[in-house]
Amino acid sequence: MTTKNFKYLAMPAVLALALTGCFGSSSPDERVVVPPDPVVVGPEVPDALAVVVNGNVVDVDSVGIIETATITFRENGAASESIATVDGDPITQLVTEDGSFSFTLRDGASPDSVRLLVTADGYFTKRFDIDFTTDEEEIETELGLLARESDDTADAAVEDDVANASTTDAITASAESENAGGDASVPQGTQLLTASGDPITGTSVSLRVGAVNPNSSAMGSSVPAGLNAANATEVAVPVGVVDVTMRDNTGVSVKRFSNPITVGVRLPISTEIPGGARTITTGDEFDVSSFDEDTGEWSNEDAKAVVGQLNAAGTAYRASFETDHLTFFGITGNEPACTQAFTMSFSGDSLPNSRLFVIVTSRDGSISGSVPGDATSATVIRANFMSIAGIKANATARVVVRAPGSGAVWYDSEEEVPICGNLPEVELSNPVQNTVSEVGSLIAVCSNDSTVRTDVPGAVVKFRETGSRSAWSTARGNGEGGYNFANLNGDADSYDVKVNPRIADEFTTTITPDGDDESIEFNIQCEVVTGTGS
């Protein structure tokens, strides 16, 4: 770390002036008082963060940024006491303004993992777990949310009046599309309660149902983390999912009911269930798990989802169950868990000089990892996390490798490939033909003396192509005030750079992707030091 501290460089000169004034004459009466000149001192720079998490909230299909999202931090069902902003302020929640976020651990905190509950208008709420046991100082992550309205989803809501916190008529909401379907029905005379068991105070309610195509990877993308535990021998594999919520006109969520309500979900005519792929038939039963969107906890329901009659088109069944609460429900069967790490071996004309994301998606679930630059092989998902991700022993998934920020795809398996174990000879190819990299030096310039300039390591620096709605990439620091802008598109006009120097307000600037190193400067009011002399 290079820290230019002019306070101590200036003191010998000040002392020399003071001594000259005191002892330059043999007569006390001829002693000259020489006050030292004021000296502007460069700022104290922050130490590098022990660990920092940088990431983006994106649409899982388009990979476009979701600008406004709320991230709530949880541990063991309660608000996390481990998270702070990069400026050191303790937080339990943050709201993104441009889709990107950064946070660190509070002083003294050392959790193995922290849960992130992510919500955004028009998207299914999802939980993501950040692993802090990898000893990485800079963790870059991407949180992908599934849109409630798409080719593989269905979403619908109905409104009705209530009296004295009870339904005056039965309320039924049904979400149906070509590929997905689900429904919920609340009987007449049912009392509507909050999570704490108190009656609601509103005079009307909105019942909303969201469903996902059970034959697509969209279902896996919708399932929040935590359905399965670490090192489990069996994993619960979703067969169908449905999200049911209700709010009154004051904005209060209805979570519980005095009487059971009925929830239904469309299932495919065949699926992977214990014993392998087989056709679903009327009367089959599946386990039901529920995800609490407030606590981030999964629970096993007592009720079973029972498969009804085949629909008139002969394309799907409806499975239904009764429950006394609302949330995200997963209809599941159990499968032997994968006990091997998911690793990849890379080939190709050139390897990336910076980290790449690996996105793994299937109808069973989705998970993301990353591989470091210049790697010829990497462990994407560790063995003990395979069961957490719900990866079964014979799991297959589509695997995509892409650059953070730009989303440029370096590899796409297109078809599903086995992911329990090693995926050999993945040929990486950079789709950007004119790729350049640069180093940007971050310099604090004293506004009260522009000759005093200080290198600033330990800042948080992000970048993306100007005018794009892509995610932000992180420029990794070299510990001396330099930040690496890797894999820039040399044909782009400019890149936006967002800097939190941690000793001044966040600011944005631009750089030109021409391969020449940059100097990124910002002004700061510096301390003025004076001494005494005679």
Residues 247 and 327 occupy one common structural domain: yes
**Count of residues for the chain?**
534
Residue 186: helix, strand or coil by DSSP?
A: strand
| Residue 155 contacts residue 175 (beta carbons within 8 Å) | yes
| Residue 90 contacts residue 84 (beta carbons within 8 Å) | yes
| Residue 336 contacts residue 351 (beta carbons within 8 Å) | no
Domain finish residue from 116, 145, 174:
145
- What is residue 364's predicted lDDT score, i.e. its pLDDT? 81
- What is residue 350's predicted lDDT score, i.e. its pLDDT? 66
Residues 325 and 403 occupy one common structural domain: no
Residue of 347, 180, 195 whose CA lies nearest to 264: 180
Please provide the distance, in angstroms rounded to a whole number, between the alpha carbons at the two ends of the chain: 37
Residue with tokens 């522009």: 450
Residue of 126, 120, 109, 124 whose CA lies nearest to 75: 109
- What is residue 33's predicted lDDT score, i.e. its pLDDT? 59
Classify residue 247: in a domain, yes or no: yes
Residues 164 and 282 occupy one common structural domain: yes
Buried b / exposed e over 257-287, threshold 16 CB at 10 Å, is: beeebebbbbbbeebbbeeeeeebeeebebb
Classify residue 259: in a domain, yes or no: yes
Residue with tokens 């940088």: 54
CATH, residue 520: 2.60.40.1120
Task: Decide: pTM greater than 0.95.
Answer: no
CATH, residue 159: 2.60.220
Residue with tokens 């269905």: 154
Residues 109 and 203 occupy one common structural domain: no
Classify residue 20: in a domain, yes or no: no
- What is residue 388's predicted lDDT score, i.e. its pLDDT? 86
Please state, in angstroms and as integers, the Cα–Cα distance from residue 59 to each residue in 128, 261, 418, 426, following that order. 14, 32, 25, 25
Classify residue 7: in a domain, yes or no: no
Residues 217 and 321 occupy one common structural domain: yes
Residues 358 and 441 occupy one common structural domain: no
Q: Which ranges of the chain have pLDDT less than 70?
A: 1-36, 270-278, 349-350, 405, 531-534
Strands 435-446 and 518-524: parallel
Classify residue 241: in a domain, yes or no: yes
Does residue 63 come out as left (phi exceeding 0), alpha (psi in the -120 to 50 range) or beta? Answer: left
Give the span between the Cα atoms of 250 and 202, in whole angstroms. Answer: 6
Residues 138 and 161 occupy one common structural domain: no
Residues 392 and 467 occupy one common structural domain: no
Per-residue pLDDT tens digits for 305-364: 999 998 887 888 999 999 999 999 999 988 899 999 999 998 876 677 788 889 998 888
Cβ-based neighbours of 326, under 8 Å, separated by 6 or more? 184, 244, 245, 246, 254, 255, 256, 261
Strands 396-402 and 417-418: antiparallel
Residue of 146, 145, 210 whose CA lies nearest to 176: 210
Q: How many structural domains does the chain have?
A: 4
Give the span between the Cα atoms of 262 and 258, in whole angstroms. Answer: 13
- What is residue 35's predicted lDDT score, i.e. its pLDDT? 61
Domain finish residue from 101, 120, 145:
145
Any idea what DSSP says for residue 100?
E
Residues 317 and 205 occupy one common structural domain: yes
Classify residue 38: in a domain, yes or no: no
Residues 68 and 108 occupy one common structural domain: yes
Residues 316 and 450 occupy one common structural domain: no
Give the span between the Cα atoms of 158 and 222, in whole angstroms. Answer: 22
Residue with tokens 């599941």: 332
Domain that holds residue 262: 153-336
Domain finish residue from 82, 115, 145:
145
- What is residue 459's predicted lDDT score, i.e. its pLDDT? 97
Residues 301 and 257 occupy one common structural domain: yes
